[in-house]
A and B are shown apart, each in its own frame.
Chain A
Amino acid sequence: MSKSKPIKKSSQSQKPSPPKKRVGAKLGASHQPNPIPDTQDKPYGLVPLTTQGIDRQIPVGQDKFKHDRFSGKLHLALTVQTASFVASGVVAMGRDVDLKADLIKTAVHQKNQLIIPGSSLKGVVRSTYEALTRSCLCKTKAKRDEIPKGHGECKIQKDKIEVCPACRVFGAMGWQGLVAFPDAVGQKVSTSVGFMPSLYRPRTENPMYQNDGKVSGRKFYYHAVKAVNAGEQRGIPVQQAGQAYVFKTALQFKNLTEAELGTLLVILGQDSDYPMALKVGGGKPIGMGSMVVTVEALEKPGNLKSRYTHYVLPDSDHLTDEPLKRFMQTAIVAAHQTLIEEYQLKELARILAWPTQRPAPEGMY
């Protein structure tokens, strides 16, 4: 895969849209899985569901450290590329958060340092992980009868504990996952007010569904060069993280296989063949919330005894720079070999490609 490919593709989509074709009519004979409708006039694209079936297996517990698996912490820095806003649900007076505005929708914050709740981040990473692997459809708004046969949410049964790849890593009802996302904390006080146009309610017409009324894919919003900013007259003032604002967090993991860790790294944009950014928080349709992840270090207690008997980790267990890159590369290769569905990855990487030349969406407000 060349790096420029996703960018080229997305810039093509700026041409005037051709008349709409009947969904899937032309591609009917193709062997590609679930041909999906053209969404170039939409701010999102769809990653088709896997046709391989859900790969349910017995998950590994996190009660014991397994020696053939990976445990540790990924130290991440998320750098904001387009204005980002994770709503706290509270509308305050501007003066309450030291910002110039009469009223402002506040972001999740502590003492004006913005925060991305761990749960939000986990949600973003999980839905991407689901799309790339043979995972169930569980975090979906679709109704039960709209979910294609066999794709339903994994259930933990007493006699049969078998779950999909995403449920193994992120957990399922009654089953604790192997990763934990603490809150990502802003590295300085935010002084930025943005204006978010009031978004239209999503229209009911939704290309997510096939002719038979079943869900055909997972929806991901495109990145844009910059977010639409409606200006004070028409927008809702929001306490936002402006461009270059940095959040930091340490993703904790326990008993992951190399491929599982590698898949997480691909999602975090660490695969140079598929450069991607995350999309976090509100205003996704208008280009908000793009964040590029840097993996700053990886802590991996190679020898568990030394982990608990030494205060400072040996260097070999704290990877940065070249050794970190090599480690990540190997894990990513393992992910491609055994876990990632390449067709789905191609589609996802096209939608989430970063950097992008896609302009801010128009006509959305």
Chain B
Amino acid sequence: MSTEIAPLELTEVQWQVAEAIARKLVIERTDVNELRKTLSYLREYVDRENAGKAFFDYLKTLVRRGDQIGHSKKTVEYYKSLDSICSEYLKDYQDKAPQILMILGWATRLVKYYDKGVPTGEIQPITVMSEREAAIQAVTQANTFEVGQEIEATVAAIKKSKVTYEILGTIRLTQKEPKLASKLTEGQTVSVYIADLKNDGSIKRIKGI
């Protein structure tokens, strides 16, 4: 949480997020100075509990009351853009304020690069996957799965007859298990088999044994 030590470098996904934010900021012509001001805010309060959530509240407050401190109507437009961009790309990091700080810090630098180095018209937005999606992709690429293959899973959650299994520490799949559900407990390690695969070779469905 907030006591977490700030990471020294960005993960591959975080780089993409920084990149995506920077591109959006340039495309929307958001004033990077306003981003810098919100960064000074985050830097000042990053060590507090729930600093990440407070940061999102802060962005909303800027949109709502920014006219009070801003110098022009434009300022509020910048805040709107910052708020929507951060909501789009940074929600996954809401409990990791130091990482938000890192990502936005790099985004600020990248904006400067795009501003000076690339004509605005040539900058395209990019889509980024979440940390979770990236982890799943990594696990999928590192393993070959076959239908019928037996693997170990952890029972992550049980809701009535639905059981959520977690395999390889990353991939979570939920399956109706009317016969098994009442016998399992959360956290328990069980065996499952792969019932179906997607076209790309990733697992579509698993079933308890």
Interface residue ranges, A against B (CB under 8 Å): 88-93, 96, 102-103, 105, 198, 236-237
Query: Bound state CA distance, A105 and B65, in angstroms?
Result: 13
Distance from B174 Cβ to chain A, minimum over Cβ atoms (Å): 39
Produce 1/0 per residue, B79-99, CB < 8 A to A: 000000000000000000000
Question: Once the chains are docked, how many angstroms separate the CA of A93 from the CA of B37?
Answer: 13
Quick one: CB contact mask for B134-162 with A, threshold 8 Å, 1 for yes?
Answer: 00000000000000000000000000000
Output the least CB separation between B139 and chain A (Å).
40
Chain B residue numbers with a CB within 8 Å of A198 are 71
Subset of 16 A-B contacts with CB under 8 Å: A89-B40, A90-B37, A90-B40, A92-B44, A92-B58, A93-B54, A93-B58, A96-B45, A102-B64, A102-B65, A103-B62, A103-B66, A103-B68, A105-B69, A198-B71, A236-B68
Q: A103-B65, A103-B68 are in contact. List 12 more A-B contacts (CB 8 A).
A: A88-B44, A90-B37, A90-B40, A90-B41, A91-B37, A91-B62, A102-B65, A102-B68, A103-B66, A103-B69, A198-B71, A236-B68
- List B contacts of A103 (CB < 8 A): 61-62, 65-66, 68-69
Chain A residues lying within 8 Å of B62, measured Cβ to Cβ, are 91, 103
A96 to B61, CA, bound (A): 12
With the chains together, A198 CA to B67 CA distance in Å?
12
Residues of A within 8 A of B65 (CB): 102-103
- Classify the interface of chain B: helix, strand, loop or mixed: helix
How far is it, in angstroms, between the C-alpha of A92 and the C-alpha of B48 when the chains are bound?
A: 14
B28 sits at the interface (CB 8 A): no
Chain B residues with Cβ below 8 Å from A105 are 69
Whether B57 lies near A93 (C-beta < 8 A) is yes
Q: Which of A89, A102, A198 gathers the greatest number of chain B CB atoms within 10 Å? A: A102
Count of chain B residues near A, Cβ 8 A: 16
Q: Which residues of A contact B37 (CB under 8 A)?
A: 90-91
Output the least CB separation between A86 and chain B (Å).
Answer: 15
Taking the closest CB of chain B, its distance from the CB of A202, in whole angstroms, is 15
In the bound complex, CA of A216 to CA of B66 (Å): 40
CB neighbours (8 Å) of B69 from chain A are: 91, 103, 105, 236-237
**How would you classify the secondary structure of chain A's contact residues: helix, strand, loop or mixed?**
strand
Q: Is the CB of B41 within 8 A of A91?
A: yes
Q: Tell me how far the C-beta of B97 lies from the nearest C-beta in chain A, rounded to whole angstroms.
A: 13
Contact B71 A92 (CB under 8 A): no
Interface residues of B (CB under 8 A from A): 37, 40-41, 44-45, 54, 57-58, 61-62, 64-66, 68-69, 71
Complex Cα gap A105–B44 (Å): 13
Alpha-carbon distance between A102 and B65 when the two chains are bound, in angstroms = 7
Query: With a CB–CB cut-off of 8 A, which chain A residues contact B58?
Result: 92-93
Nearest chain A residue, comparing its CB with the CB of B42: A90
A-chain residues with CB within 8 Å of residue B64 when the two chains form the complex: 102
User: How far, in angstroms, from A236 to B75 measured CA to CA in the complex?
Assistant: 14
Nearest CB on B from A121, distance (A) = 22
User: Is the pair A102, B61 in contact by a Cβ cutoff of 8 Å?
Assistant: yes
Q: What 9 pairs between A and B have smallest CB-CB spacing?
A: A102-B65, A103-B65, A90-B40, A90-B44, A236-B69, A102-B61, A103-B69, A93-B61, A90-B41
Task: Give the chain A neighbours of B68 by CB distance below 8 A.
Answer: 102-103, 236-237
Q: Select from chain B the residue with minimum beta-carbon distance to A88.
A: B44
CA distance A89 to B61 in the complex (A): 17
- A92 x B66 contact (CB < 8 A): no
Q: How far is the CB of B70 from chain A (nearest CB, A)?
A: 9
Smallest CB–CB gap between B52 and chain A, Å? Answer: 14
Inter-chain contacts of A93 with B (CB < 8 A): 54, 57-58, 61
How far is A102 from B79 in the complex, measured between Cα atoms in Å?
15
Q: Please give the distance in Å from A337's CB to the nearest CB on chain B.
A: 49
CA distance A93 to B56 in the complex (A): 11
- Which of chain B's residues have a CB closer than 8 A to the CB of A102? 61, 64-65, 68
B44 contacts across to A, CB distance below 8 A: 88, 90, 92
B54 lies within 8 A of A96 (CB): yes
User: Whole-angstrom distance between the alpha carbons of A236 and B71 in the complex?
Assistant: 10
A96, closest chain B residue (CB) = B45
Q: How far is the CB of A78 from the nearest CB of chain B, in Å?
A: 25
A103 CA to B65 CA in the complex, in Å?
7
Which of B41, B57, B62, B71 has most chain A Cβ within 10 Å?
A: B41
Complex Cα gap A102–B62 (Å)? 9
Chain B residue with minimal CB distance to A104?
B69
Per the bound structure, the CA–CA distance linking A92 and B62 in Å amounts to 9
Cβ–Cβ < 8 Å partners of B45 in chain A:
92, 96
Once bound together, how far apart are the Cα atoms of A89 and B68, in whole Å? 16
User: In this complex, which of B45, B54, B61, B62 has the most chain A Cβ atoms within 10 angstroms of its Cβ?
Assistant: B61
With the chains together, A91 CA to B44 CA distance in Å?
10
Chain A residues contacting B40 (CB-CB under 8 Å) are: 89-90
A332 to B77 alpha-carbon distance, docked (Å): 56
CA distance A96 to B58 in the complex (A): 10
Which residues in B have their C-beta under 8 angstroms from that of A89? 40
Chain A residue with minimal CB distance to B38? A91
Task: List B contacts of A236 (CB < 8 A).
Answer: 68-69
- Nearest opposing residue in chain A for B44, CB measure: A90
Q: How far is the CB of A224 from chain B (nearest CB, A)?
A: 24
Instruction: Using CB atoms, name the residue of chain A closest to B43.
Output: A90
* B62 shortest CB reach to chain A, Å: 7
Residue of B nearest to A89 (CB): B40
